[in-house]
A and B are shown apart, each in its own frame.
Chain A
Amino acid sequence: MTKSREDHNPGRRKFLKGVGIAGAGAAIADHLWTEAEAQEKQGTLSGNVKVTLHVNGSPRDVQVEPRTTLLNALRNHLEPAVTGPKLVCDVGTCGACTVLLDGKPAYSCLVLAVDATNRKITTVEGLGSPESPNAVQAAFVEHDALMCGFCTPGFVTTISAYLKKNPNPTLDEVREACKGNFCRCGTYPRVFEAALAAAKTTAG
């Protein structure tokens, strides 16, 4: 399949340049933009491209259209699929798709897969397992910080990264750290409790 750039305008990159990636900051957005622009000049932005994504410690080869978001590449193209990050809004407003890019939280619906090739991608599955959870995952279970669980991967990922940056946060700092994540069932108070409890565990 070949398409010219005119009739195959991904659109997302412009949006990406305009608003930046929540949690990752404008610097990275600019960097991604520059990188995407460079690739575009090389004429690689049409049809499927082969990319290697470094997901949870393993290199994973995948064929995607350049417009494919990292989120959709993980969920719809990787074999086997990585479905921990959830597709909820697809426009960077809810945080359910949060992954770590080189340790920093990013909305994977606002990152193109082709722009994530040189990054270390960590999803919620890479932080721990049901049998061997990390401190945040364990605290989420202990404090009932989840109900339907659809927002949980985003919160767990965001908080796990935040506690590395700030191992001893206040309640207000926790609220601030996960303000980019929505929950509908109403788990917030217990999410905060879990984050503070996990901080204590890891500090101890």
Chain B
Amino acid sequence: MPRVVNGVEQMVEIEVDADAGPGWGPNDKHTLLNHRYTRVDGPLKAAGVARYTYDQRLPGMLYARVLRCPHAHARVTSLDTDAASKIPGVKAIIQAPLTELRFAGAPVAAVSATTPEIAGDALRAIKVQYEVLPHVVHAPAAIRPDAPKVVAEENNLQEKGKNGDQQKAEAAFATADAIVEGEYISQRVHHACLETHGMVVDYRGGDTATIYASTQGTFTIAADAAKELGLTESAVTVSVEHMGGGFGSKFGLGLEGLLACRLSKQTKSPVKLMFTRYDEFVMAGNRSGSWQKLKAGVKKDGTIVALNARQYRLGGLGPGSQAGQPYIYRMGDTYREVYALHTNEDSSIAMRAPGHPQASFAVESLMDELAYKIKMDPVEFRKKNLRDDVYYRQLDRAAKEIGWSRRNPIAGGNAGPLKRGMGCAVGTWGGGGNNQCKVDVTISRDGSVVVAVGTQDLGTGTRTYTRAIVAEELGLGINDVKERIGNSKLGAANPSGGSTTAPSLSPSVKDAAIKARMMMAERVAPLLGNAKPEEIVFAGGKVSAGGQSLSWKQATASLPAAGITSHGEWRADLQARGVHGVCFAEVEVDVETGHVKPIKMVHIQDGGLPLNRLTMESQINGGMIQSLGMALWEGRVMDAQLGMMLNPGFGDYKLPGCLEMPELVPLIDDDDKREAVIGIAEGCIIPAVGALVNAVFNACGVRVRELPVTPDKILMGLSKATQITQI
């Protein structure tokens, strides 16, 4: 079956072992999964006693801070730490491992001291002399042939590929009834995890070390940390009990971990290095910006005949990311060129659905413009050009939910200064798993059940469904099972990126649970009239067969003293890939001030078997809310002359807040009957930006092609529209 994965249509075939074991069963036959159940770590978090990396405080622990370069491009010519090292309480000062500093905020040195306040004093006392080099931080300036080179001897503009037949596409434009050409620019937004990047490295000079890390990958740290500490990998334990948000930005040892290891090694003391909020903005990554020049031709009947796309990925020092156009649409003869355009800014890094919201925003804006041009309903126009028919039902359901029939088809056509409008958009993601998770389920003679795996819970509910899968399989309540996660000494697990955690982890958990049930069944069979193990039913806290029944505790009393432990491996047949999401938005634009007020958003998302409807809805809400920020408020502001970020704090970088929240409707697409777990976290952040921008156009008739859609851009657009009317 053809599926659209990461913007590319492809045949996806996964080899499935027919004898792998029982499956999940129909999605409507579960007792816990696909139901609403509360998070198992909720009570700890609500009471403030969940322990995060930032909360670690160890005996003799030192606090570290990082000195950042104030110039966008410079070399350090001298570093004088004399005065700093004399401050009482300062324990170590090290130089960061970079010789040429290519962005403002690049780390220059790190300090450890007995308090974070004293570490701050030391930073202020370090005297650094820089050779300041030319820099460029804005894409239109960086593309000029005479622009300062971000990396010496290299062009700022790097070609990353060409697809399609340019001649054919140009010829196809001649057959179009209407053509839309536009430049779409998406800004660089920040992950803004509330718990900043950081680690506590507990190394006291012995043969072992423990690292408490705010990370999306429990198993992505030990190898590199061991090298820094001069230990073997197995001597380093990584602990991630709870973590305060990652959104793609927290993998590996990172610069923060590297510096913490070196400081800890130098003083043989535990070192806590958590980025400050300023650090977090200037050196902990961001979502790649994009600059997309798109030209499409359409026939009156709604058939798109050609696309010419020039896509620039704006990733600062890094290559950036952007899904290829025409993303999920059929656009006849297409031609695209992709470039990375470098600037003196820290490298963009993965952020929830890397490259997709950018591509979606541009192509959904283009789709909308084409629809208006040929006076076709945007929903019908999308259906005509989408490659995957799953979207048809999603478009219909979400349209009904938001009240699409109320929409005025004339942009800006509603009366009065407060004008409402609606828009829609579509997104896709993979969300498949892979074979990385090893899970143990142990049932003790006293009836306790523990499921153990080293995975991490980013706030996505991993802990909770891990428990629930085992509880459901054994016919127990969710509180009858305990989970142990977040430790590299437990069974291996994949890093949480690309929405792969649920589809990688849950099959292994299910496999371990099934095996534990069968081991139990063989044990208790003699107590149940020698029933066949596979006929023994585990339900409602009882183990039953042939009219006889044992309570759970009676059943487990028959286990050996050490209890039983089953080992679960990944099974491809228990997961799948390919998700679909559709978002509709309604906004109100004040045409006197340019202010946009989001009124309502609806997002419908499929994802095979929903492990937990309550937490899945929360994730869909989160996707919509983060998209609101990208569409309307957020964005890094860079100063061309100074080369530095002007808004590195929550006072100036506008996150979505309580007052701006519209009515949010998260819908789970239950028409998806796949009996398989698929990751949904990224699918549900992709289309909302496009939906909001299109809603703004429908409301006031201004097409804002550069994010975020701030009042100045709307007023500028309105003034142009007025001028045209006056002529």
Residues on B with beta carbons closer than 8 Å to the beta carbon of A138: 46
CA gap between A175 and B622 in the complex, in Å: 17
Q: Kindly state whether residue A83 has any CB partner on chain B within 8 Å.
A: yes
Q: Kindly state whether residue A18 has any CB partner on chain B within 8 Å.
A: no
- Binary interface profile of B, 630-662, with partner A (CB < 8 Å = 1, else 0)? 000000000000000000011100011111010
Residues on B with beta carbons closer than 8 Å to the beta carbon of A124: 47-48
Q: Kindly state whether residue A24 has any CB partner on chain B within 8 Å.
A: no
Q: Shortest Cβ distance from B471 into chain A, in angstroms?
A: 18
| CB-based contact A150/B117 at 8 Å | no
Q: Kindly state whether residue A184 has any CB partner on chain B within 8 Å.
A: yes
| CB-based contact A125/B47 at 8 Å | yes
Residues on A with beta carbons closer than 8 Å to the beta carbon of B242: 148-149
Residues on B with beta carbons closer than 8 Å to the beta carbon of A191: 658
CA gap between A88 and B655 in the complex, in Å: 14
Of all chain A residues, which has the CB nearest B614? A144
Q: Kindly state whether residue A1 has any CB partner on chain B within 8 Å.
A: yes
Q: Which chain B residues (27-73) contact chain A, with CB distance < 8 Å?
A: 38-39, 41-52, 54-55, 57, 63
Q: Kindly state whether residue B426 has any CB partner on chain A within 8 Å.
A: no
Residues on B with beta carbons closer than 8 Å to the beta carbon of A190: 618, 621
Count: A-B pairs, CB below 8 Å: 189
| CB-based contact B245/A150 at 8 Å | yes
Residues on A with beta carbons closer than 8 Å to the beta carbon of B458: 148
CA gap between A144 and B47 in the complex, in Å: 14
| CB-based contact B245/A184 at 8 Å | yes
Q: Kindly state whether residue B367 has any CB partner on chain A within 8 Å.
A: no
| CB-based contact B46/A141 at 8 Å | yes
- Size bin of chain B's contact surface: 35 or more
CA gap between A61 and B615 in the complex, in Å: 42
Q: Kindly state whether residue A90 has any CB partner on chain B within 8 Å.
A: yes
Residues on B with beta carbons closer than 8 Å to the beta carbon of A91: 277, 649, 651
- A contact patch SS: loop
Residues on A with beta carbons closer than 8 Å to the beta carbon of B63: 76
Residues on B with beta carbons closer than 8 Å to the beta carbon of A75: 55, 57
Q: Kindly state whether residue A59 has any CB partner on chain B within 8 Å.
A: no
Query: How many residues of chain A have a CB within 8 Å of chain B?
Result: 61
Q: Shortest Cβ distance from B270 into chain A, in angstroms?
A: 13
A130-B47, A190-B621 known; A149 and B459 CB under 8 Å? Answer: yes
A128-B47, A146-B46, A184-B194 known; A93 and B650 CB under 8 Å? Answer: yes
Contact of A89 among B52, B277, B621 (CB under 8 A): B277
Q: Kindly state whether residue B460 has any CB partner on chain A within 8 Å.
A: yes
Q: Shortest Cβ distance from B636 into chain A, in angstroms?
A: 16
Q: Kindly state whether residue B676 has any CB partner on chain A within 8 Å.
A: no
A86-B52, A86-B194, A144-B618 given. 10 additional CB < 8 A pairs? A85-B48, A91-B277, A130-B44, A140-B46, A144-B39, A146-B39, A147-B459, A149-B45, A149-B244, A185-B618
Leading 8 A-B pairs by shortest Cβ distance? A84-B48, A148-B459, A186-B622, A149-B45, A150-B244, A186-B625, A124-B48, A141-B42
Q: List 12 A-B contacts (CB under 8 A).
A: A65-B115, A72-B117, A76-B115, A76-B116, A127-B47, A144-B617, A146-B39, A149-B46, A150-B195, A152-B45, A178-B658, A186-B621
